[in-house]
A and B are shown apart, each in its own frame.
Chain A
Amino acid sequence: MGFEQIIFYIFSFWFVVSSLAMIFSRNAAKAVLFLVLAFFSAASIWILLEAEFLAIILILVYVGAVMVLFLFVIKMLNIDKSTIKARFTGYLPLRLIVAIIIIAEMSLVLGSNQFGLDVFSVPARHSEGYSNITVLAMQFYTIYVYPFELAAVLLLIAIIAAITLVHRNDNTSRKKQSISEQVNVQAKDRVRLVSIILPDKKEK
């Protein structure tokens, strides 16, 4: 067994274990952390497949940003475990049906009859000078340039829409800080020097 195979089995093992632990974990924060571990294992396996750009993007986007926001939300939640348990049995039949349908669909689409070795050949090893990111960029900015840019515009629209939804433009009803006013403040605006005529000491 070569070095690469040992690494592959280590990361595959952790991928499966952490995915299962994520599902069966009772603590939401721990579930998020197991999901992070699963992402890491997946990224490591992708690196073994010479898809290092995708692997790094997986970590950068999902682990570095999305999962941080997940943890952020979980910290804010006040999770009451008893209500979750009460709901669990109520919806159980419906959930089982949905789960079975999803598992059946995924095994039909992603099974070995679709992605087996007789359908797809073993990916070829590239030489040492092969640059994954250059090849991807050549595809993105030549053949797929319009879909790529459309996706970018779609994301921009989503950002603007989200900002518009939460933006309130009424300046009258809420208190607002004007930073430029605060920065340009002068000493004479804040402190008023008043000359007080002291009573003569001799009068005491």
Chain B
Amino acid sequence: MELWQTFVKMVHALVPWLDGTVAIILIIFIKAMALLIPLMLVVAYFTYAERKVIGYMQLRIGPNRVGPKGWLQPIADALKLMTKEIIFPTKANIYLFLLAPVLAIAPAIAVWAVIPFDEGIYITNLDISLLYVLAIGSIGVYGIILAGWASNSKYPLLGALRSAALLVSYEIVIGFALVTVVMIAGSVNLNTIVQAQQGGIIYWYFIPLFPIMIIFFISSLVETNRAPFDVVEGESEIVGGTHVEYSGMTFAVFFLAEYANMILMAVLSVIMFFGGWHSPFEAIPYLESVFSWIPGIIWLLVKTTFFMFLYLWIRATFPRFRYDQIMRLSWKVFLPITIIWIFVVALMTQLQLSPWF
């Protein structure tokens, strides 16, 4: 942190024009790049990991031709998609057609601004960061709706209609699920929520909020359009859903948005329910000192990687849900459970149930 302070001062000294306005913009830009470049690399290699993991689960090898063990496969894919022609359907609304992928990726990246990676490592410490995550996350649905509508084609419209209704329903479930987290932590600041889980694995919120944790994870699968809830694409039902008319880089941007959202949801699960940057060995007599040298960001990334692996594992395991069953799951199963659990948490708060309150 001191290093960062000296860096900020240095930038201000180097760029003194306009009351330091240029310096402020430059610092914001550097911060954004420091997050964005690793994020895009992780997204690229997450697609590689997905193909490898599912490959081994299906007794195949997966990509192994480009580079040693296929390590350069994502780079090759990116190059291929960049050089491909972007095809515009006739009579498609071209502005909205091009705006849709932008509206898909912009919120997927903008949400990362408030994610705390370690004690004091974040882009911005917003006081209402949880609401910010929900608000910006809810904009992602515009990408899908517009892609379906602007394509002026049959299957994209069907896919967009299906998924728009689905995403709006599951946002309600996620909102209610996060209310319980807010009730325990007593804050909507993600930093405070993680700090409230300090003191060992027993303090993490997945213990008092176990059903909510499961519901949040399943809902995050729906929100990111992942199997077994990928009705927006549904290859076997509606060809490719909203992506049918998209090609080349426009398609790649949708793909990037989906994977960035998946990683985001994994990080959010860790922050809400699994102690964020806290070590699982806290308050355990011998192990705590052995593992104390590991920085918090490593713990966060390790836990996040586990959840990212769960996404791939689930995709390889379950067949696709029928659409009306997903809707039923949201409105008739998850929503009542979350509302009941709000009352349970209120009861826990009143009883001062240790160690969480």
Contacts and interface: CB of A to CB of B under 8 A. Distances in A.
Interface in B21-37: 21, 24-25
A132 B127 CA distance: 8
Contacts of B142: 36, 68, 71
B238 interface: no
Interface in B96-112: 96, 99
Given A53-B131, A59-B139, A63-B139, A29 B96 contact: yes
Given A60-B134, A133-B188, A53 B164 contact: no
A90 to B, nearest CB: 29
Given A29-B146, A71-B142, 7 more contacts: A3-B25, A29-B96, A52-B127, A56-B128, A60-B135, A72-B164, A131-B127
A71 B234 CA distance: 22
Contact of B21 (A2, A29, A52, A60): A2
A65 interface: yes
A56 B19 contact: no
Interface of A: 2-3, 6, 27, 29-30, 33, 36, 52-53, 56-57, 59-60, 63-65, 68-69, 71-72, 75, 131-133, 177, 179
A75 B161 contact: yes
B145 A179 contact: no
Interface residues of B, number: 36
B131 A68 contact: no
A140 to B, nearest CB: 14
A71 B145 contact: yes
Nearest to B23: A3
A60 B138 contact: yes
Contact of B135 (A56, A133, A179): A56
B2 interface: no
Contacts, number: 81
B324 A177 contact: yes
Contact of B168 (A30, A52, A65, A75): A65
B134 A71 contact: no
Contacts of A27: 93
A56 B161 contact: no
B141 A6 contact: no
Given A29-B96, A30-B96, A71-B145, A52 B138 contact: no
Nearest to A75: B149
* Interface core residue of A52, A59, A60 (most chain B CB under 10 Å): A60
Contacts of B149: 29, 71, 75
A145 B312 CA distance: 46
B325 interface: yes
B173 interface: no
Interface string B110-144: 00000000000000001110011011101101100
A99 to B, nearest CB: 29
A6 B21 contact: yes
Contact of B138 (A29, A63, A133): A63
B325 A179 contact: yes
Given A75-B161, A133-B188, A68 B127 contact: no
A68 B164 contact: yes
B319 to A, nearest CB: 14
11 contacts: A3-B19, A3-B25, A56-B131, A59-B136, A65-B138, A65-B168, A65-B171, A71-B149, A72-B145, A75-B160, A133-B127
Interface in B1-45: 19-21, 24-25
Nearest to B332: A179
B328 interface: yes
B106 to A, nearest CB: 11
B128 A52 contact: yes
Contacts of A132: 127-128
B244 interface: no
A191 B20 CA distance: 76
B157 interface: yes
